[in-house]
Amino acid sequence: MLLAKLYTGKSEFIALNNGLHGRTALTMSVTGIGMWRADFAPYGGAHFVPNPYCYRCPFKSTPENCDFACIEAVENTIKNHTSKKVAAMIAESIQGNGGIITPPKEYFKVLKKVLNKYEIPLIIDEVQTGFARTGKMFAIEHYEIVPEVITMAKALGNGVPIAAYITNDEMAEAFKNPSASTLGGNPVSSTAGLAVLEYIEKHNLTKRAAVLGDRLKKGLMELKGKHSIIGEVRGIGLMLGAELVKEGKNPAVEETDLIIEMMKDKGILIGKNGEYRNVLAFQPPLIITEDDVDFMLDTLDDVLKVFRGN
C-alpha cells in the first residue's frame, strides 16, 4: 500500500466488503469484516465496495443474469465517492475469512479493465490463497490477469514467519528511500521460504492440490445433494467452503458451531468463517492424502445426519 502511494502520488484505497488484509493498523483499515477491526480510529481514505458474493448477491442477480453490477459499483465509487486520489484497489483473489467467496471466472478481467481506465494499480492479497493451494501457485492465475502487486505470507514459510510482496519493475522503481526492518530478510526465515518453494515444485503440490481439491469438492457436492443444510459449496483446489443454511437461506450459525465441535470430537479440525460465521472452511495441508479426504467426508456425512430436516 505504501508502494502504491509512492508510485501514484495518491493516497486513497478501494477495498472489498468482507475482505481481510491483516491486523496492523493500516491493513485493518482496508479490512471489511467488523470483527477484525479492533482499531477504533481507522485510517481515512478507504472506500468499501460490494464483493462478488454471488450466493447472496447484494444486487439480487444470479450468475446466469449477472452484468457485474458489483464492478459497476466500483467504477461508481471511483467516479463519485473518492477524491480522485486512489492509490490502489486491494482484494483477495478468493476471500478467505470472508467465507471462501470465489469470484466468477471473468470477475477480475472486467474489474481490471475498469481500474486500468483510471490508472489504479491492483494489489492482490494471496496470503491465504498463495503457493499452490488452489492448484496454481497463485489463485489469481485462475483469473488470467496480472496485478501490479501480490502480497504473500502464510504458506511461504510453512509455519516459519515470513512475508513478502512482488511487483513490477516500474512500480519498484518508485521506492527510492532506504528501507529496512528489524526482522526483514531474516536468513533463517528466508532459507525456510526457499526450501518450501523448492518442496512445492519438486513434489508438484500444485497438481496435488488440484486433484485432491477436485475429490474434496466432488464429495462436498454429493453431501450437498444429501443434506439440505449445505446451501452452497464453493472454492478452488484445496480452498473450499460449505455455507450452512436453514430454510430460506437463513444462516445456520449455531448448527455450524455444533458441527465443528462434533467433527472435533471425531478428530477433525474444520475452519469457520464468513460474514455470518456459517461457512465451513476446508483448507487442509497440501500433503493431505486421498484417505484423509475420504475419512473427513464420511465423518461429515455422519455428523450432518443429525441435522436432517434443517
Ligand X SMILES: Cc1ncc(COP(=O)(O)O)c(C=O)c1O
Binding site for ligand X (CB under 6 A): 20-24, 27, 92, 96-97, 125, 127-128
Residue nearest ligand X (C-beta atom) = 22
Task: State the nearest-atom distance from the C-beta of 204 to ligand X, in Å.
Answer: 25
Q: Which is nearer to ligand X, 31 or 206 (CB)?
A: 31
Q: Which is nearer to ligand X, 125 or 148 (CB)?
A: 125
* 137 vs 149: CA distance, rounded Å: 15
Q: Which is nearer to ligand X, 127 or 242 (CB)?
A: 127
Task: State the nearest-atom distance from the C-beta of 25 to ligand X, in Å.
Answer: 11
SS3 for 195-234 is HHHHHHHHCCHHHHHHHHHHHHHHHHHHHHHHCCCEEEEE
Q: Which is nearer to ligand X, 92 or 232 (CB)?
A: 92
| Max Cα distance, the chain (Å) | 62
Task: State the nearest-atom distance from the C-beta of 98 to ligand X, in Å.
Answer: 9
Q: Which is nearer to ligand X, 20 or 162 (CB)?
A: 20
Cell of 274: 464468513
Task: State the nearest-atom distance from the C-beta of 154 to ligand X, in Å.
Answer: 7
List C-alpha distances in Å: 57 to 47, 62, 194, 256: 19, 7, 40, 22
Task: State the nearest-atom distance from the C-beta of 209 to ligand X, in Å.
Answer: 17
Q: Which is nearer to ligand X, 23 or 264 (CB)?
A: 23
Task: State the nearest-atom distance from the C-beta of 202 to ligand X, in Å.
Answer: 26
Torsion of CA 279, 280, 283, 288, to 10 degrees: -160
Are 7 and 171 in contact by the 8 Å Cβ rule? The answer is yes
Are 146 and 120 in contact by the 8 Å Cβ rule? The answer is no
* 51 vs 58: CA distance, rounded Å: 9
